[in-house]
Amino acid sequence: MERKEWLTALPKVELHCHLDGSLPPEAMTDYLTRTGRLPAGQTLRYSVPADCTSLADYLTCFDLPLLCLQTEDSIADFVRAVLREAAKEGISYLELRFAPAFSQAEGLSLAQVFAAVRRGRAAGEAETGVRCGFLACAMRNLSPDQNLEMLEEAARWYPDLIWGLDLAGDEAAHPTREQEAVFRRARELGIPFTIHSGETGSVENLEAALSYGAARVGHGIALQKSPELLRAYAEAGIGVELCPLSNLQTRAVSGWDAYPFRRFREAGLTVTVNTDNCTVSGTTLTEELERLCLHCGLTPAEVPELLRNANRCSFAPPQMKADYEGALQAFLLKNPTGEVTNP
């Protein structure tokens, strides 16, 4: 079997995927046109341009998707649509993150947002067989009080719907320590969390994530700046959610020669591979793995280890992790890595 075909068919786990950044473009166009929500003169651009210069520039691509997530029915429908796309990619288990506060522009309560997400998940899982857990995103540009209000509501849906917490947004403009109270409360509630950290070069944000007890960090690129922190992350077993194409698009790294995938692996980090935003970045998990094969020397024999890393450090229930391991082993018995051919 050729490598691309094998990677596509391989049962996969993804931990870092944003709902709003992964809505299917055709579904967005249909919805925005049909409901009259498209702003006058607005160009339908859902993916980052080739000349994207920074994370702040990258984040401007979320305006249109968020217009699609302001009613209970649309939230449920788009969650279902994202799970359909995941199924096409061979995703067995997906952790999908979203910012509840960003779906309140037209008056939805936080409880209504969570209920809509649950309805969409139920329909999507029944249709596709993809298992999905959600991470509720606190946002860096919101006050700690606003994020704490969201967290208290999220706790009512944990662990049935919400399996963890995240902090997302413009990392350069809003350091993690501004939200210390949010993570202190998450620990009190027993809710695990990941934190977007080190995407824009901040070692301090990575230090904060370590000190707060993060189980994982999103991106983590700036770990390569600090051998001591790199060692501490490896010893603590903190998962690192790499998102290769997104990291290049936001200029977290200057190019493939500077990409730390190999360095992180050799340092003993628990590395996982993710898309970040399928639509905004214009990618799939299969394509992310293929890029690492082409640019970083990833071999088919190494891919199952990356997927097992994701399974182990996911926030999924133990039985779901065991089920995935069984499915992966069954696939590899029928499609061993040694028989995978290069394109």
Looking at the annotation, which residues are catalytic? 199
Contact in structure between 216 and 196 (CB atoms under 8 Å)? no
In degrees to the nearest 10, what's the CA dihedral of 67, 70, 76, 78?
0
What are 311's two structure tokens? Answer: 């399974």
For residue 341, report the phi and psi dihedrals to the nearest 5 degrees: -110, 150
For residue 150, report the phi and psi dihedrals to the nearest 5 degrees: -65, -40
Contact in structure between 85 and 3 (CB atoms under 8 Å)? no
Neighbours of 166 (CB within 10 A): 23
What are 164's two structure tokens? Answer: 């963890």
Non-local CB neighbours of 241 within 8 Å, separated by 6+ positions: 15, 16, 194, 216, 217, 218, 219, 220, 272, 274
The Cα 269–Cα 303 span in angstroms is: 15
What are 217's two structure tokens? Answer: 């960090």
DSSP 15: E
Which amino acid belongs to residue 202?
S
